[in-house]
Structure 1
Amino acid sequence: MSYYGSIEAGGTKFVCAVADEELTIVERISLPTTLPEETLANVFDFFDQYELKGLGVGSFGPIDVNVQSATYGYITSTPKKGWRNVDLLGLLKERYAIPIAWTTDVNAAAYGEMHLGAGKQTQSCLYLTVGTGVGGGAVVQGAVLQGFSHPEMGHISVARYPGDTMESVCPYHEQCLEGLAAGPALEKRTGIKGQLLPEDHEAWGVEAFYLAQALMNYTLILSPEKIILGGGVMKQAHLLEKIRRSLEVQLGGYVNVPEEYIVGCGLGDNSGTLGCLLLAKEGV
């Protein structure tokens, strides 16, 4: 029997899975992201047990998604030690002579959520993950959105919350969304890890302000039918409603968004894996 394969290539871990024709996951493993040679050796050991007919890869980035580029398939300017300018797609193609779909980890998650999760019954959705970093992907008219490169939604510039003078945790930008609202920023602002922060702590209002401001910008530019929020920071159930209220205030009545516009993941921690599997199946 042949299977579809999935790789969620993250900066901390590679999640690999195989699934049958119905995309039912047969086996799934998590491998630490060390140096490329060691990591890929473990990836190959896993997939070599199966007959693969297609593979979907959602990678941490930045990556080159331009098929006309000489470095298509590369992880490019990542700060991850040892992974800058690694031809990840090329190394996978050397090993497996099968169709391989290639996109970002957040694009894969957006694709999975739109077709199989919280975005079902829509033709456009946006997925934003808020955790160690902030990243976003969009699906428009059923297809992943990208141009000369892929979206970098976590690095849009945001206006600071009144009185917030905390130094950004992003080494590139002093007031981008990731630098002011990712998990490490939340911890830097309070001295407490997000999962231990009381619900009534004022920092959650600051967090909601930054995320809602970003969602307002995405809304005004892309007008997706649904925005789906995931990642470790969003596992705080109370935060979703705070973001909704802040978005309403910041929009100021200029745009009326649909009901159930901002929602949590429908696929939980499987958004990226199922998105990659679906891309693999469609690419065969």
Structure 2
Amino acid sequence: MMMAGGSSWDDYKGPARLIIVVAVLLICCCGGALTAVGVPLGEMMSFGKKHYNYQCDIALGPEPGASTSATATPTTASVPESAARQQRPETNPYAELYFDPADPNVTDRDLACASAMKTAPIQDEPWQEINTGPAVSCADDLALRYPEVAGTATMADYARDVIYSASIAGSTGQCTPTRAPTATVVENCGDPTATVASVILPATVGDQGYCGQVVDPKAASPGDLVFWEYIDRRATRVGVALGPGEVVTVDSGKFVRLEIPRDAEVQIKRVLGDAG
């Protein structure tokens, strides 16, 4: 394959090749919007690199010692937030990324990101809206009532059961603690823009951390998931938010209610759709 200027595809290694792939993905998933507004190729590739890094940071957590990119999102004046939301693809275009582990230019973070993208929905800028609706009201109730009726649970099972039970409350007309079934499809897991019969999260905290749409901490709502203590590019703790200040989680086999940590590596993810 020949590129502009007579260069072949094989001349591009590691990061350079990745940026080209990302730029192509952006053109495909945004319906050519970036080119339609006359964005130069160099600027588009710069945007593509930032967009890719942002998607990775949201899924994996920011790199140790780096400032979180959750508040430094890759926006341009040409693509307003409302337009970006409308152009959101149904599936994550980065799910098709593949890196050769033997390539010396490919980092461990690239490999971890490619794996996470198989599960994670594509991310918008952090949502600013408070969530509402039957599922949210049920999650608010179950987050506190679940410990009384369900006994001891792991962090991951607590999150799975509360979210699943809340997600079906609107269709069943009941808000009762229910054990979540085993997840069989994890693509775009917990995407709050999708219309689904129920939200079934993966079995482990690390895999759950790839799910959902990132939310601004000030907009944290009942039923949003709070992830923190990222180790080896995976979340190790999860809880169910009660609002912008508190979260319920499991610690050493006991249910605890505590303040949402104010650490740069905390991610708040929305997995429940709103009233619409």
TM-score of the pair, normalised by structure 2: 0.25
More strand by share: 1
Higher relative contact order (CA 8 A, sep 6+): 1
- What TM-score do you get using the length of structure 1 for normalisation? 0.25
